[in-house]
Amino acid sequence: MDTISFARGVPAPECLPIEDLADCARTAIERDGASTLLYGHTLGYQPLREWIAERHGVDPARVIVTNGSLQAFHFVFLALGDGRRVIVERPTYDRPRKILSGFGEVSVDDDGLDLDELERVLAGGSQPAFLYTIPTFQNPTGVTLSEERRRRLAELATVRSLRVLEDDPYGLVRFEGEPLPTLFELEGGTNVIYSSSFSKTIAPGLRVGYVLVPEEVAAGLEDIVASTYITPALVGQATVLEFLRRGLLAPNLERVRGLLGARRDAMLEALERDLAGRARWSQPEGGYFLWLELPDGTDATELLGRASAAGVTFVPGPDFGGVPNSARLAFSFASPAEIDEGVSRLAALVPAAAAV
């Protein structure tokens, strides 16, 4: 019996446009090898910076293209951290939690970050270096910050000169509902730094992430970037640009949304069938993940041990700062049939409900 993974936050291999990317890489190197194969601009492949700048309506000098957006998080933290506290969501993406040695936390509910709690946290201490938030299809919960809260947070950022790092890797992977404005769009990019990548829209192995920063931050980042890796990996960046220029992003997104939307549907249906009344889960409109709250008293970390033995895996909520009875289920990787079977296996291990 093969193990079914709800742990891996990676796309199913069917999502990858392998043939197109192979041809784009060949073209990108042939056409501009003298740029992509030498050391290029520290802040990224210039024509891709320009494409991103145009898409977001900013000056190219504000665009920094990195080897994946986690590396961008590092750079922003190095540039702005300055020994001050960073505020993160609880729960949040586990890798930034590991990078930050200490941080403050603010809860997430079904509408995203709890802004009342944020205001209390801000009032109760010194100005933080920045707030790190994933407003859309959050990792790990799959929830999305409501439009009302987005407007309020953008306002708060302006009024309090609060730097916000808006991480938005999943925003374009929407299966239903209308796209919401980003914090960056609402606030204008004075205090909000916007981070995204092509990992979820094209392919993660290309390692092409980017960040939009105020110009004065970009200048400071250039030294940090140069001292880290001289120049990012340009072949992947040029391959992405070729993919974009050929107009392949929109049809690829359509395809990816279809593939992943079907997986989300399969997971929601199986959960309803097998765990209704015993657990709660989020209802993501896009992205890779949903958040499962198991009956009170369940220890998700202990459950994982038994689940692995039964052929299904997930990531326990505490890895993200969540409560002991929570878990992140990724629906991005397994097939709909595997998801159906995996939820069955998992549900068989979950105790009958206390009050959920």
46 binds a second copy (CB under 8 A): no
User: Contacting a second copy (CB under 8 A), which of 4, 6, 56, 67?
Assistant: 67
- How does 231-256 read in b/e, with b if 16+ C-beta sit within 10 Å? bbbbebbbbbbbbbeeebbeebbeeb
309 binds a second copy (CB under 8 A): no
In the complex with a second copy, which residue's Cβ is closer, 16 or 310?
16
Q: With contact defined as beta carbons under 8 Å apart, do 85 and 128 qualify?
A: yes
User: Contacting a second copy (CB under 8 A), which of 74, 150, 152, 200?
Assistant: 74
Q: Which two tokens stand for residue 70?
A: 């986690």
- How does 38-49 read in b/e, with b if 16+ C-beta sit within 10 Å? eebbbbbbbbbb
216 binds a second copy (CB under 8 A): no
37 binds a second copy (CB under 8 A): yes
Q: Which helix (H) or strand (E) holds 65?
A: strand 63-66
286 binds a second copy (CB under 8 A): no
Q: Please compute Rg for the chain using Cα positions.
A: 21
246 binds a second copy (CB under 8 A): no
Alpha-carbon span 86 to 256, nearest angstrom: 34
Q: Which two tokens stand for residue 343?
A: 């939820």
Question: Mask of contacts with a second copy, 95-134, x by CB under 8 A?
Answer: x--xx-----------------------------------
Alpha-carbon span 93 to 138, nearest angstrom: 8
Question: Mask of contacts with a second copy, 226-245, x by CB under 8 A?
Answer: xxxxxxxxxxx--x------
16 binds a second copy (CB under 8 A): yes
205 binds a second copy (CB under 8 A): yes
- Enumerate binding residues for a second copy (CB under 8 A): 10-11, 13, 16, 18-19, 21-23, 25-27, 29-30, 33-40, 67-68, 70-71, 74, 95, 98-99, 203-207, 223, 226-236, 239
